[in-house]
Amino acid sequence: MAIEVGTKLEGKVTGITHFGAFVDLSGGVTGLVHISEIADNYVKDVNDHLKINDVVTVKVINVDKDGKIGLSIKQAVDKPASEVRPPRAPRPDRPSGGDRFGGGGGGYNRERGGRPFKPAAGKPSFEDKMSRFLKDSEERISSLKKNTEGKRGGRGAKRV
């Protein structure tokens, strides 16, 4: 059986490390369940959740070119519909319109997927900002060079 991303398989835990567990799949193929993919809650020690020779159901989450197989135990578990989080209700202490400062004037808009582009009148363009940055940076470099020219020498040794 070919191992493809998204398939669920049964496997036996063959090794446990501080960063995860190695699971032997069918045909002698071994994959790694990273510590972050063992359980939905925080896993401090893999040994608290798995033992060697445990039979677990895993989901293949990636297969690298060099043959490394990434597995997940927590993604292999089908969650009931009641555990899926419902969308958040609007908060009564915030004004409607997607903008927490009131009104609807061009701020973050969740329905459209982000902030719209509005060129502001009177603000400098990107080219203006870049030329001002270049000028300021050249001034800073020249003043730095002036201040360090006379301070040549070793570490703390004074010249007389």
- CATH number for 55: 2.40.50.140
Among residues 3, 6, 55, 51, which one has the least CA distance to residue 31?
3
How large is the average pLDDT for residues 46-51? 92
Please compute the mean of the pLDDT values over residues 131-156 and round it to a whole number. Answer: 81
Residue 53 lies in a domain: yes
Choice between 104 and 144, residue whose per-residue pLDDT is larger: 144
Is the residue at 54 inside a domain?
yes
DSSP string, 76-145: TSPPPGGGSPPPPPPPTTS-SSS-TTSS-SSS-BTTTTBPPP-PPTTPPPHHHHHHHHHHHHHHHHHHHH
Q: What is the pLDDT of residue 61?
A: 94
Say if 144 falls within a structural domain: no
Distance CA 106, CA 146 (A): 47
Mean pLDDT within 16-32: 91
- Residue 3 lies inside a defined structural domain of this protein: no
> Is 104 a member of any domain?
no
Share the mean pLDDT of the chain. Answer: 80
**In terms of residue numbers, what domain contains 52?**
8-72
Q: Is residue 28 part of a domain?
A: yes
What residue ranges in the chain does DSSP mark as E strands?
A: 8-17, 20-24, 30-34, 55-63, 69-72
Looking at the chain, the whole-number percentage of residues with pLDDT higher than 70 is: 69
Q: What is the pLDDT of residues 72-119, one digit of tens each?
A: 999 988 776 666 666 777 777 766 555 555 555 555 555 555 555 555
Q: What's the domain count of the chain?
A: 1
Instruction: List, for residues 27-40, the tens digit of each pLDDT value.
Output: 789 999 999 999 99
**pLDDT number for residue 146:** 84
Compute CA distances 30 → 11, 24, 71, whole Å: 9, 4, 10
